[in-house]
Amino acid sequence: MTTTDTPGGTGQARSYASVFDSPVAGTWSAPGRVNLIGEHTDYNDGFVLPFAIDKRTVVTVGRRDDRLLRVASTFDEGVHEISLDELDPSAMSGWSAYVFGIAWALSVAPQHADAPAFTAAGGDVSSIDLSAASGLDVFVESDVPIGAGLSSSAALECSVAVAVTELWSLEVNRPTLAAVGQLAENDAVGAPTGIMDQSASLLGRADSAVFLDCRSLEADVVDLGFAAAGLEILVVDTHVEHAHATGGYVDRRASCERGAEALGVTSLRDLDVDDLPRASDLLDDETYRRVRHVVTENQRVLDTVRTLRTEGPAAIGALLDASHVSMRDDFEISVPQLDLAVATAQRSGAVGARMTGGGFGGSAIALVPSDQRDAVAEAVTAAFAEAGYTAPTIFTVHPAEGARRES
Ligand code: ADP
Ligand code: MG
């Protein structure tokens, strides 16, 4: 992988045409996501309920007549490149690893065909062959906030994934593409994340959430009906960076694995709330609380899906609130800013609120009546000012369509 400075500079003026010469073959986009409920359940083979949001990463892509993959973004200067003949995680670093990692993951997918993710996704990856694929120029633009817990990383991976599979004429279904994205993020970037973000970004539908069983990878679309109920989702980006996120995440995963092993199950998905008394007898206090979060969170996802289908979104507030308490007290992944955002939203008119994403910073969400959105936002802003915290960025997101070709 090499990086060069190029004419074109940075900022607003930088565009595909200012960096690359090859003719544009098309543009593709993929959204970020908000996880409505189901946190740290994905890598425990459990349930999640994210939705794709109306903030997207757009890639403009041109075909090259050699084997180079070259990428540039409004996010930094320079152009990063790698040869399709030298794809290997050890040759990738920085943000371009998300892009090159997709090509690498596709190239090794045939050998990984027995990996649970690929077979569970129902995909046939045996025909993937990049040996004659053309090089590409890829220019990235995005309005997904980076590092805010809204998965700018999956938006990047998935926009690239839908672009390259179309340009390279690869027949890969969307669930399999989600597994490709996860493999890229795990092995090329080195982030041990689950498959939720990519699934939301690829399978999202307008006004709907993606109910994903992370074991079977079966996905169901669930109507959210926010607009009809006069509700919307407010995101509070605390600007607290996930400084300890990687260590904390690895730590939580290890606790979950320890708990599952001690209880004699493949993963915590295999437990339900009736198993908790036995877990409490067997496990140390901290491991027990980690297990209790995952087990009760799985149940809350199932309850949320059922409630959405029977009573509608106005009835899910208590489940969102309970999810936050569980993350704060049992899984211990919240921070004071997230707790303040959640408590203030709850006090000032939200139907329910919780932190969202991996934790240790990032964003909280609040389900609010549209006519109280401004009051909730003002109350949270005022509470942050009073506590002496950095002012949050607060905005509404709407459930939107997943990855697609734009032009
Ligand atoms: P999140 O997914 O919550 O936004 P992550 O840390 O998982 O946070 O991913 C953020 C990283 O993804 C960035 O640091 C960068 O490496 C990469 N990334 C995301 N969007 C872009 C973009 N538009 N251009 C270049 N890199 C990006
Ligand atoms: Mg991410």
- Are both 198 and 256 inside the same structural domain? no
Residue 88 maps to a domain: yes
Residue 67 maps to a domain: yes
pLDDT in tens, 338-388: 999 999 999 999 999 999 998 999 999 999 999 999 999 999 999 999 999
Q: Residue 146 CA: which ligand is closest?
A: 1
- Are both 24 and 36 inside the same structural domain? yes
Q: Which of 16, 146, 237 to mutate to test the pocket of ligand 1 (most atoms within 8 A of CB)?
A: 146
Distance 21 CA to ligand 1 centre (A): 26
Does residue 194 have a pLDDT over 90?
A: no
Q: Any idea which residue has 């809204």 for tokens? A: 150
Angle of CA points 73, 78, 79, to nearest 5°: 75
- Are both 313 and 377 inside the same structural domain? yes
Which stretch of 198-212, 244-258, 261-275 has the lowest confidence by average pLDDT? 244-258
Rounded to 5 degrees, φ, ψ at 381 are -60, -45
Whole-angstrom Cα distance, residue 324 to residue 47?
A: 16
CATH of the domain at 362: 3.30.70.890
User: Would you state the pLDDT for residue 111?
Assistant: 84
Nearest Cα residue to 163 out of 64, 68, 60: 60
- Are both 364 and 255 inside the same structural domain? yes
User: Would you state the pLDDT for residue 125?
Assistant: 86
Residue 78 maps to a domain: yes
Strand partners of residue 356: 363
Residue 405 maps to a domain: no
Residue 407 maps to a domain: no
Average pLDDT, the chain: 94
pLDDT in tens, 137-160: 999 999 999 988 899 999 999 999
- Are both 210 and 239 inside the same structural domain? no
**Ligand 1: which residue has its CA nearest to atom 22?**
75
Query: 75: Cβ below 6 Å to ligand 1?
Result: yes
Amino acid residing at 75: F
Does residue 197 have a pLDDT over 50?
A: yes
Query: 153: Cβ below 6 Å to ligand 1?
Result: yes
Whole-angstrom Cα distance, residue 195 to residue 404?
A: 19
Q: Which atom of ligand 1 is nearest to the CA of 193?
A: 7
Query: 156: Cβ below 6 Å to ligand 1?
Result: yes
Residue 10 maps to a domain: no
- Are both 101 and 250 inside the same structural domain? no
User: 199 is written with which tokens?
Assistant: 């699934």
User: Would residue 197 show up in a list of annotated catalytic residues for this protein?
Assistant: yes
Q: Any idea which residue has 């999640």 for tokens? A: 48
For residue 394, count CB atoms less than 10 angstroms from its CB and return exposed for 0-12, middle for 13-18, buried for 19 or more: buried
Nearest Cα residue to 165 out of 151, 182, 180: 180
Query: 73: Cβ below 6 Å to ligand 1?
Result: yes
Residue 87 maps to a domain: yes
HSE (side-chain half, CA atoms, 13 Å) at 150: 32
Task: Tell me the residue range of the domain where 277 lies.
Answer: 226-397
- Are both 53 and 174 inside the same structural domain? yes
- Are both 213 and 89 inside the same structural domain? yes
Does residue 9 have a pLDDT over 80?
A: no
Rounded to 5 degrees, φ, ψ at 251 are -60, -45
Query: 77: Cβ below 6 Å to ligand 1?
Result: no
Question: Are the beta carbons of 238 and 361 closer than 8 angstroms?
Answer: yes
Q: What counts of helices (H) and strands (E) characterise the chain?
A: 12, 13
Residue 208 maps to a domain: yes
* Percent of the chain with pLDDT strictly greater than 70: 95
Query: 30: Cβ below 6 Å to ligand 1?
Result: no
Query: 385: Cβ below 6 Å to ligand 1?
Result: no
Does residue 110 have a pLDDT over 90?
A: no
Does residue 117 have a pLDDT over 90?
A: no
Task: Average the pLDDT over 215-240 and give the result.
Answer: 96
Q: How many domains does the chain have?
A: 2
**Ligand 1: which residue has its CA nearest to atom 12?**
153
- Are both 106 and 157 inside the same structural domain? yes
- The catalytic position among 197, 237, 321, 330 is 197
Cα 117 from chain centre = 17
Q: Which of 27, 28, 71, 95 to mutate to test the pocket of ligand 1 (most atoms within 8 A of CB)?
A: 95
Task: Average the pLDDT over 170-177 and give the result.
Answer: 92
Q: Which of 19, 153, 159 to mutate to test the pocket of ligand 1 (most atoms within 8 A of CB)?
A: 153
**Ligand 1: which residue has its CA nearest to atom 16?**
95
Task: Average the pLDDT over 227-238 and give the result.
Answer: 98
pLDDT in tens, 271-330: 999 999 999 999 999 999 999 999 999 999 999 999 999 999 999 999 999 999 999 999
pLDDT in tens, 11-66: 457 899 999 999 999 999 999 999 999 999 999 999 999 999 999 999 999 999 99
**Ligand 1: which residue has its CA nearest to atom 23?**
142
Where a domain ends, among 175, 201, 223? 223
Q: Residue 362 CA: which ligand is closest?
A: 1
Query: 395: Cβ below 6 Å to ligand 1?
Result: no
Cα 86 from chain centre = 28
- Are both 155 and 270 inside the same structural domain? no
User: Would you state the pLDDT for residue 245?
Assistant: 59
- Are both 348 and 254 inside the same structural domain? yes
Map residue 147 onto helix, strand or coil.
Answer: coil
